[in-house]
Amino acid sequence: MSPSTRIILKEDEIPRRWYNIQPDLPHPLQPPLDAETGRPIGPEDLAPIFPMNLIEQEVSQERWVDIPEPVLGKLALWRPTPLHRARALEEALGTPARIYYKNEGVSPPGSHKPNTAIAQAYYNKEFGIKRLTTETGAGQWGSALAMACCLFGLECKVYMVRISFDQKPFRKYMMAAWGAECVASPSEDTQAGRDILARKPDTPGSLGIAISEAIEDAVTSEATRYSLGSVLNHVLMHQTVIGLECKKQLEQVGDYPDVLIGCAGGGSNFAGLAFPYVLDKINGRQLDVVATEPTACPTLTRGPFVYDFGDVAMTTPLLPMHSLGHDFVPPPIHAGGLRYHGMAPLVSRLVMDGLVEARAYHQLECYEAAVLFARTEGFIPAPETAHAIAAVVQEARRAEQEGREKVILMNWSGHGLMDLSAYDAYFSGKLADYPLPEEDLRKSLAGIEGLPRPAAE
Ligand SMILES: *Cc1c(COP(=O)(O)O)cnc(C)c1O
């Protein structure tokens, strides 16, 4: 057997610095805007929501940012993560391509999300914050932040979208195991929640509503701040340990990717893998960088580049991003992490600049690819991750048709062991494809007419 089935680094090879792509962008990011005044918001406007040390990271123009020792100490609980060569999958596909996947599913909560949860908990603690609030959909982010707060001795309150709270209880139990408080959103604990419950007592909730609740709680409580698991610049930067490790691992086997693939919900795991390589691409290296998403929530492939709110209640600043409109209600697909109406401004910008390509996949094709993956490589992927695997399968087949030995690198963002009910639904034929009807898109985009437009250049 060839030695390069699982490429592992030693503990002291965890990257010591994060990569911040901001100074390398061909076009700088446009600033977030205050929705009332239309003016760029400054650091002090965000101070009630985030601690100043993270706000500084959000706007930092330093290319490399040192990772504090206590953060490295906690990341070392599961990092560096293995890079696998997917030999059995290659064989099943009969492809000349070499397929590699970075296994972020080995973290305690089972995804890439604790890479930033750990960093955010640390910086909040350093700033004197005692308690963090957040929202969660299916519970991946809530469980990651619950663990991080627990490891740094912070309190944690998670507003979990009601339908998931009721239907997917296991991540709620994980949050309890790590000592966090988790309530169904909308809740009676905030004004935003009470208002919605008064109007629609049996609402299933949404990520946008939960964000509004978590922010309200943070700005109205002592020594409490809010934490976001994706989208923001500092979150994407914290995830770059993924791509930086991959570079060392692929160097060990003398490979460099021709195609990079990651699924994109808010954009963080994709960015974590891709940004260190996008730097090479900016410097002239040839490679395809592909972000994948569901056809049911096609933010990058069909949403325009606009200024929009991050939440339904329109409480966040306006961010320059691809968006389906903040009123967008996604169809009930099981990839909960890919149902967000917006996209990270950094990822949106790179798509506008042609450095990143976006592709959308139908739900059933993704499950088919996920099952093939499980039956060859063994690991059962999260439904979100399945959207990256669908693209890997497509690229591997293309390589076979072209007779090309290309190197494909995928971010395996998380395992699906808490999502087995979705697999059950797939196996019993209860899942369908939900391509977003043009009419629905038009309706949700009507909600952002009149907002300022960011320049395309
Ligand atoms: C949350 C999640 C995603 C999507 O979020 P990003 O910020 O786009 O990475 C993808 N995969 C898994 C396993 C997740 O938990």
Report the CATH number at residue 175: 3.40.50.1100
> Residues 162-210: pLDDT tens digits?
988 998 899 999 999 999 999 999 999 999 999 999 999 998 888 888 9
Is residue 26 one of the residues assigned to a domain?
Answer: no
Distance CA 377, CA 374 (A): 6
- Provide the residue range defining the domain that includes 191: 114-228
> Residues 221-277: pLDDT tens digits?
999 999 999 999 999 999 999 999 999 999 999 999 999 999 999 999 999 999 999
- Which of 145, 269, 366 should be mutated for ligand 1, with most atoms under 8 A from CB? 269
Is residue 430 one of the residues assigned to a domain?
Answer: yes
CA nearest 122: which of 149, 155, 141?
Answer: 149
What pLDDT does residue 1 have? 47
**5 — pLDDT class (breaks 50, 70, 90):** very high
**3 — pLDDT class (breaks 50, 70, 90):** low
Beta bridge partners, 71, equal none
434 and 319 co-located in one domain: yes
List, in sequence order, the alpha helices (H) in 205-307: 207-220, 233-238, 241-252, 268-282, 299-302
What pLDDT does residue 70 have? 98
**336 — pLDDT class (breaks 50, 70, 90):** confident
CA Rg, the chain, in Å? 21
The answer to whether residue 335 scores a pLDDT higher than 90 is no
140 lines ligand 1 (CB under 6 A): yes
**349 — pLDDT class (breaks 50, 70, 90):** very high
What pLDDT does residue 163 have? 87
Give the range among 2-16, 44-58, 59-73 with minimum mean pLDDT.
Answer: 2-16
**370 — pLDDT class (breaks 50, 70, 90):** very high
What pLDDT does residue 347 have? 98
Ligand 1 centroid from CA 317, angstroms: 23
Q: What is the average pLDDT across 372-392? A: 98
Q: How many domains does the chain have?
A: 2
Q: What dihedral do alpha carbons 265, 108, 82, 358 form, nearest 10°?
A: 0
Is residue 319 one of the residues assigned to a domain?
Answer: yes
Q: Which atom of ligand 1 is nearest to the CA of 270?
A: 9
Q: What is the average pLDDT across 421-438? A: 95
Q: What are the φ and ψ backbone dihedral angles of 415, each rounded to 5 degrees?
A: -90, 165
Is residue 364 one of the residues assigned to a domain?
Answer: yes
299 and 362 co-located in one domain: yes
Is residue 184 one of the residues assigned to a domain?
Answer: yes
Instruction: Please calculate the CA angle 37-40-43 and round it to the nearest 5 degrees.
Output: 115
Q: How far is CA 284 from the centre of its chain?
A: 27
264 lines ligand 1 (CB under 6 A): yes
105 lines ligand 1 (CB under 6 A): no
Q: Which atom of ligand 1 is nearest to the CA of 111?
A: 13
The answer to whether residue 6 scores a pLDDT higher than 90 is yes
pTM above 0.85, yes or no: yes
71 and 210 co-located in one domain: no
Domain boundary among the residues 205, 228, 251 is at 228
206 and 274 co-located in one domain: no
140 and 265 co-located in one domain: no
Domain boundary among the residues 194, 228, 262 is at 228
Q: Which residue has the higher pLDDT, 167 or 144?
A: 144
Is residue 1 one of the residues assigned to a domain?
Answer: no
276 and 385 co-located in one domain: yes
Is residue 150 one of the residues assigned to a domain?
Answer: yes
The answer to whether residue 428 scores a pLDDT higher than 60 is yes
Residue closest by Cα to atom 13 of ligand 1: 414
Q: Which atom of ligand 1 is nearest to the CA of 264?
A: 8
Q: Which helix (H) or strand (E) holds 40?
A: none
- For residue 170, the SS3 value is helix
In the numeric block, the tokens 């043009």 are attached to 438
411 and 429 co-located in one domain: yes
Distance CA 434, CA 201 (A): 27
191 and 252 co-located in one domain: no
431 and 401 co-located in one domain: yes
Q: What are the φ and ψ backbone dihedral angles of 58, each rounded to 5 degrees?
A: -60, -35
131 and 196 co-located in one domain: yes
345 lines ligand 1 (CB under 6 A): no
236 lines ligand 1 (CB under 6 A): no
Q: How far is CA 321 from the centre of its chain?
A: 15
413 lines ligand 1 (CB under 6 A): yes
111 lines ligand 1 (CB under 6 A): yes
Q: Which helix (H) or strand (E) holds 371?
A: helix 363-377
DSSP labels, 399-450: HHHHT---EEEEEE-BB-TT-HHHHHHHHTT-----PPPHHHHHHHHHTTTT
The answer to whether residue 160 scores a pLDDT higher than 70 is yes
241 and 201 co-located in one domain: no
- Which of 106, 207, 268, 366 should be mutated for ligand 1, with most atoms under 8 A from CB? 268
Q: Which atom of ligand 1 is nearest to the CA of 415?
A: 13
Domain boundary among the residues 228, 246, 275 is at 228
- Which of 120, 134, 227, 230 should be mutated for ligand 1, with most atoms under 8 A from CB? 230
Ligand 1 centroid from CA 116, angstroms: 12
CA nearest 19: which of 245, 228, 231, 227?
Answer: 245
152 and 257 co-located in one domain: no
Is residue 48 one of the residues assigned to a domain?
Answer: no
